[in-house]
Amino acid sequence: MKNIDTNFYKVQSNERRDRIHCIFSNIAWRYDLINDLISFGLHRLWKWRLIKKANIYSGKIFLDLAGGTGDVASKIIGSYSQVVVCDSSLKMMKYGQQRPNTDHISWLAGEGEAIPLADDSVDTLTISFGIRNMTNLEIAISEMYRVLKSGGHFFCLEFSKPHWLIRNPYNFFSIFIIPRFGNWITKTPGAYTYLIDSIRCFPNQDVMVKLFRQAGFNDVQYYNLSLGIVCIHTGTKIL
């Protein structure tokens, strides 16, 4: 983890956890709208690709970790007995319960570092744009491994390292435009400055592959989207 040993990740876990909870509570009412605006709607395409991969599978329990307002869970069509959104922000889930097509969703308060589910209880797990907000990546990934059944699959959608062709304009847009715009729309100074910092300090595609493999996952792969601005990591738990 030396390559992400920055001041950003040196913030004490409790302090960072409280900061994240405060941010998402404050921006919950405009979170989906802001995602549309700052990504020019691309986040819907990225999540659609994630959902398309996850919908191949079925089973008893589907878990959308850090699922927020349920925009991914609401589109899962596999033959699952239960679709669960687990998130640490009660306000995000409260707004999610107001969206259409969520009657089939169970809402569970919990953090990625201590998922309140039993060992070997989940058939399919997704997490979209949430893993970088965990206070401890290794613990969060080990928790994902713990709750998945043998043969279960995970799908992780997250910002990553873009191709060099677009890296400079992308960095300019993300550093100077997105924070100002997001903070202005949500009336929450500093919220989107933090979120962009979390993207810049997050491990790249290859480092994440190593972390997933170290946790015990097999067949770990990644798929770049939009020239690597985001990528989907996938893997399987095989005992």
- In this predicted structure, what is the pLDDT of residue 15? 64
- What is the rounded distance in angstroms from the CA atom of residue 109 to the CA atom of residue 124? 18
- In this predicted structure, what is the pLDDT of residue 174? 80
- 66, containing H or E segment: none
Residues of the chain scoring pLDDT < 50? 1-12
pTM for the full predicted model: 0.85
Pick left, alpha or beta for residue 220 (phi over 0 → left; psi -120 to 50 → alpha; otherwise beta).
beta
- What is the rounded distance in angstroms from the CA atom of residue 83 to the CA atom of residue 30? 24
- In this predicted structure, what is the pLDDT of residue 11? 42
The range of the structural domain enclosing residue 62 comes to 2-236
80: domain CATH number is 3.40.50.150
- In this predicted structure, what is the pLDDT of residue 118? 97
Strand order in the sheet with 61-65: 105-109, 82-87, 61-65, 122-128, 148-159, 230-236, 218-225
- Tokens at 28, concatenated: 């919950």
In total, how many domains does the chain have?
1
